[in-house]
Structure 1
Amino acid sequence: MQSTNKNDKKLINLIRGWPSPHLLPAALLKKAADKALTDPSIFVPALQYAPDPGYQPLREELATWLGRAYKTPSRAEEICITGGASQSIACVLQSFTDPVYTRAVWAVTPCYFLAFPIFEDAGFAGRLRAVPEDDEGIDLEFLERGLRSVDEAAAAAGGDDRPPYKTPGPHRKLYRHIIYIVPTCSNPSGKTTSLSHRRALVNLARRHNALIISDDVYDFLQWPILPQAPPTSTALTPLPSPSPTPLLPRLSDIDIALGPSEHDPAGKSFSHAISNGSFSKLVGPGMRTGWVHGTSDFAYGLSQTGSSRSGGAPSQIAAAMLTSLLATGDLDTHLSNAVRPALQARHAAALAAVKSELGGMGVAVRESSEVGKGQFGGYFLWLTLPRGLKGMDVAELARREENLIVAAGEGFEVPGDEGGVRCEGNLRVCFSWEEVEDVVEGVRRLGRVLRRVEDGVKTEEGNGGGMGSEVFK
């Protein structure tokens, strides 16, 4: 098979899960910053050390905004301001897990790959367990068998007799298990967990003294699927705010409604599910600001993480600016008029390109986040390759031959438990970062790669061979 020269081709990066530069609201942030930095009642507290739970005006505005979006009353004391979704996970693990007491971390797979180092840094290398998805988002029977098996093995080995290293004190508690899930428009698969599965998952966590860390970063990035790809020159149509369709209840709302559990200390109500939110995809990752929603006891306990108590919650000045975006309605306008319409159009163009360029070669793609709902969300398309092809091999050939970067499915497998859920026959394509025409061109290049592979396989078979390594040399 003759190689092409990639050196004259523009690099196209379909791995990078960043918002397009066109969607960064610099003017709105400048307006918010001007207000914050000219009013002493705002800039004096905003430039000082923060309260442990975070900037109070932001907690109050978030409670109102989230309550309206989810149609569930939220209270400021149920919210702890964080340094974004990733930093938040690290703080949760610091405060609510213990290397001895906590038995395992269960990750719905395919899984957001950059979460793995956070769990490993907290002492869970070798104890990460993959949980497969099903049509409704998570294989609950698989998870229940796994939880029960680990608990029974720990009891048989006398593991419960070992004292934990950490002493959480009166404001925190330790959990036996952590369950990590992106229940809405999951990264990378795009699936949304159904309401019935959400309820069942919360009840399962409560039975096994588990904490669900629910990454809810894509909840406000959903849209109706366009019937066909719009031309790149088509004007964007504003979508209703804060979301074009009613949002499913957060796992944290389902949990709070159930009240304290049998695992709670007397007089306390700690969450068995928390909502891990972030402004990274809504405003910009550089704001480094997010929030956790849970019971008021959990929110306060999280605020007592040592790194927060030493200086208070992170992102104090950014929090003041974001408060203004929420209070003025500028964030809702930005999401309705810019972010969601742009992602809707990008998704339609990328999906149409996948169908036209790759569909004839047996590549399958998830088209809807929830079965039968006609909507999608997030940043990614999850492709299933024809049987026998490996994502890592195709991604390497795309990089070498087409100057195209795509994410191989193998990277979304849980380290140390790769045999549990395999993703080697998949690729993830991001449509949020590159220009729309470059996303479409990237899919065309991927089609050329797969045609070369197909031609190479036919040549190998004609020579009496199989799908040998020559295809990928």
Structure 2
Amino acid sequence: MGNAPPPSDPAQEPINLMRGWPNPSLLPASLIQTAATTALSDPTIAQPGLLYGPDEGYEPCRSAIAAWLTTFYRPSPGPIPATRICMTGGASQNLGCMLSTFSDPAYTRNVWIVAPAYMLAFRVFEQDAGFAGRLRAVPEDEEGIDIAYLRAEMGKSERQAVGEQGVVEEEGPRYKPSRPWAKVYKHVVYCVPTFANPSSRTMSLRRRRELVRLAREYDALVVADDVYDFLQWPAKKPGGHSAPSGGEEEAVKTAHLPRLVDVDREIDGGTGRPGADGFGNACSNGSFSKIGGPGLRCGWVEGSERFAYGVSQTWRITVIHGGFEGLSSVVGRRCKRPSCTTGEVNLTMDSQPRCVATYLLCPQEILQGFPSTNLYDGSGTTCSGGAPSQLTSTYMTILLTSGGLDKHIQNVLRPAYARRYNKLINAITTHLLPLGFQLPQPDRDIVGGYFVWLKLPGRMTATALASACKREGVVIAPGTIFEVPGDRETAGFDGHMRLCFAWEDEGKLEEGVVRVAGVAREMQGATGDSDGSLQVPDGVDMAGFK
């Protein structure tokens, strides 16, 4: 799955410039094998690794990640404590967990998505979190997210929410009970601030600060997928050196911009400023998928200490007092039984003094004060199965503390991806830019990630271009698949395409661009002018993506 179809010329090999995976040659299998052998040979590591883990995750790994991130990001407030880290099963799994805990489909107004956007996240928002029909696209410019647009639209959303409820002080979350370790935000903002997928843009420091301040103003949670930050290298200037100098290599060993979560921790008193609730307004969704391998299914989230702990408690358990029958919902009342002394809860009660109460608390807190309680139903993620990626976390701890992962990033990944990027950019410069294609943020000093985003010339559509490219045995990602569902008028991208330089063999990158250029040239010729407005009716084949 995901391979290009056979080209029209059998002598041509299929080329996939769509798939956003690391090339197998870049996977650190031997490093992981050594770490696994070390971990499983030591009972003090193997036993906790193979048992259920604590809610927040394997503590040695949390500490190792905190130290590693501190070295790379150098946050101005000081070292990152392990209490700000919660282990996850990767960025995608954790996105669902965070929405489960910190949003409410009846109370959270909208999910604001910087567009073009990572399209596989849409299903998490729509189907898993219940926000179908309420995803809103926020356009980008050369500095990243359009703050003025987001501010105006958030204001409209707030006025609409108040108008629908007919009161100034609206009711609280409808489906999430009050919990001391979590909150429900009024808005969620999703973005990839650095080397974005798909646009490859990097949000400026000014916009990062503006976004955090706006999130505080409107009670929004900014979810930042910070998965490409470590994959950075100096941009090759025309006529410059083919390899980075020693000073340039040193410069990319640390982040060139603070993350949104660092900005939230730093500016205007940080998350602990007077009047703040301590949860913060930004989190960093991290993953080892791009620097270790997606099969590891291991990641972390960083936020305020209260936020990180809240993520670790993403689970639900139902408690019954004495059975139930003929239930009717009475939301917001308290159980009348003397033993039911736990604080703010939502209850469902029948005509008898019995209740079914849903608590989002740890087991010890639930069972205190309920000596006759029966567990009716338990479900969830962390509590039931323990911390995600517990065993893998032991391997990653060894790779982090030994320096093995850093060496792999510095000596293997950055040089390889820099070569690949430069080969693709050189081919684009030679074959596509003369046809009218355009690159975003062309004057950056630091580049990175997996992707290159291109604006097509004139009225040429990516849907038509992608379909025609398939016949030449090359797969590209048309911009239409990165449009936010239900809000394509705000940000439509049929005039753009994404190319990936991470998956395909290095030697095929230029040939892939040559084929795309040949197709584009034919399309321009077919229309009799240079706008290439030829369109085709067939849909987008997603097989090349994943």
Instruction: Give the alignment's TM-score, normalised by structure 2.
Output: 0.79
**Distance between the aligned counterparts of 1:62 and 1:172, measured in 2?**
23
Partner of 2:70: 67
Q: How does 1:315-354 map to 2 (within 5 A)?
A: 315-354=389-428
Q: Is 1:140 matched with 2:211?
A: no
Paired AA for residue 300 in structure 2? W
Runs of 4+ in 1 over 6 A off after TM superposition: 228-231, 234-239, 470-473
Partner of 1:158: 165
**What SS class does the counterpart of residue 133 from structure 1 fall into?**
strand
What whole-Å deviation, never above 9, does each CA across 1:370-389 have from its counterpart, x for those lacking one? Answer: xx442211011101111111
CA pair 468-56 structure 1, distance change in 2 beyond 3 A = closer
**What SS class does the counterpart of residue 428 from structure 1 fall into?**
strand
**Distance between the aligned counterparts of 1:450 and 1:216, measured in 2?**
34
What whole-Å deviation, never above 9, does each CA across 1:207-235 have from its counterpart, x for those lacking one? Answer: 1000000010011111001246999xx99
**What SS class does the counterpart of residue 442 from structure 1 fall into?**
helix
Would the aligned equivalents of 1:220 and 1:242 in 2 still touch at CA under 8 Å?
A: no
CA pair 8-43 structure 1, distance change in 2 beyond 3 A = same
Partner of 1:255: 264
Greater CA deviation, 237-246 or 182-191? 237-246
Q: Is 1:120 matched with 2:126?
A: yes
Partner of 1:414: 484
Q: Pick from 192, 202, 227: which aligns with 1:192?
A: 202
Greater CA deviation, 13-22 or 252-261? 252-261
CA pair 240-331 structure 1, distance change in 2 beyond 3 A = farther
Q: How does 1:425-436 map to 2 (within 5 A)?
A: 425-436=495-506
What whole-Å deviation, never above 9, does each CA across 1:258-283 have from its counterpart, x for those lacking one? Answer: 1346885xxx5102000011100011
> Aligned residues, how many?
457
**Distance between the aligned counterparts of 1:379 and 1:285, measured in 2?**
14
Partner of 1:5: 8
Would the aligned equivalents of 1:138 and 1:193 in 2 still touch at CA under 8 Å?
A: yes
Q: CA deviation at 1:256?
A: 2.1
Q: How does 1:280-299 map to 2 (within 5 A)?
A: 280-299=289-308
Q: Is 1:313 matched with 2:313?
A: no
CA pair 402-152 structure 1, distance change in 2 beyond 3 A = same
Q: Is 1:224 matched with 2:207?
A: no
Would the aligned equivalents of 2:476 and 2:499 in 1 still touch at CA under 8 Å?
A: yes
Paired AA for residue 70 in structure 2? G
CA pair 6-52 structure 1, distance change in 2 beyond 3 A = farther
**Distance between the aligned counterparts of 1:130 and 1:467, measured in 2?**
25
Task: Return the index of the structure with the highest Cα Rg.
Answer: 2
Would the aligned equivalents of 1:230 and 1:349 in 2 still touch at CA under 8 Å?
A: no
**Distance between the aligned counterparts of 2:238 and 2:24, measured in 1?**
25
**Distance between the aligned counterparts of 1:67 and 1:113, measured in 2?**
30
**Distance between the aligned counterparts of 1:358 and 1:30, measured in 2?**
42
What whole-Å deviation, never above 9, does each CA across 1:370-425 have from its counterpart, x for those lacking one? Answer: xx4422110111011111111111001101x2111100001111000000111110
Partner of 1:47: 50
Partner of 2:219: 209
Would the aligned equivalents of 1:206 and 1:261 in 2 still touch at CA under 8 Å?
A: no
**What SS class does the counterpart of residue 141 from structure 2 fall into?**
coil
What whole-Å deviation, never above 9, does each CA across 1:270-320 have from its counterpart, x for those lacking one? Answer: 020000111000111010011100000000010000111212211111110
**What SS class does the counterpart of residue 171 from structure 1 fall into?**
coil
Partner of 1:439: 509
Would the aligned equivalents of 1:382 and 1:426 in 2 still touch at CA under 8 Å?
A: yes
Q: Is 1:452 matched with 2:459?
A: no
Gaps of 5+ in 2: 1-6, 316-380, 540-546
Q: Is 1:38 matched with 2:48?
A: no
**Distance between the aligned counterparts of 1:438 and 1:152, measured in 2?**
53
The CA RMSD measured in Å over matched residues stands at 2.5
Q: Is 1:15 matched with 2:89?
A: no
**Distance between the aligned counterparts of 1:460 and 1:336, measured in 2?**
43
Would the aligned equivalents of 1:276 and 1:292 in 2 still touch at CA under 8 Å?
A: yes
Partner of 2:370: none
Partner of 1:278: 287
Instruction: Give the alignment's TM-score, normalised by structure 1.
Output: 0.91
Q: Is 1:356 matched with 2:356?
A: no
Greater CA deviation, 6-15 or 214-223? 6-15
Would the aligned equivalents of 2:461 and 2:534 in 1 still touch at CA under 8 Å?
A: no
Query: Which one has the bigger helix percentage?
Result: 1
Would the aligned equivalents of 2:458 and 2:533 in 1 still touch at CA under 8 Å?
A: no
Paired AA for residue 106 in structure 1? W
**Distance between the aligned counterparts of 2:445 and 2:180, measured in 1?**
47
What whole-Å deviation, never above 9, does each CA across 1:149-178 have from its counterpart, x for those lacking one? Answer: 000111011173475111151111000000
> Percent identity between the aligned chains?
44
Q: CA deviation at 1:470?
A: 7.9
CA pair 209-140 structure 1, distance change in 2 beyond 3 A = same
CA pair 162-405 structure 1, distance change in 2 beyond 3 A = same
**Distance between the aligned counterparts of 2:534 and 2:32, measured in 1?**
54
Q: Pick from 434, 451, 456: which aligns with 1:380?
A: 451
Q: CA deviation at 1:7?
A: 4.5
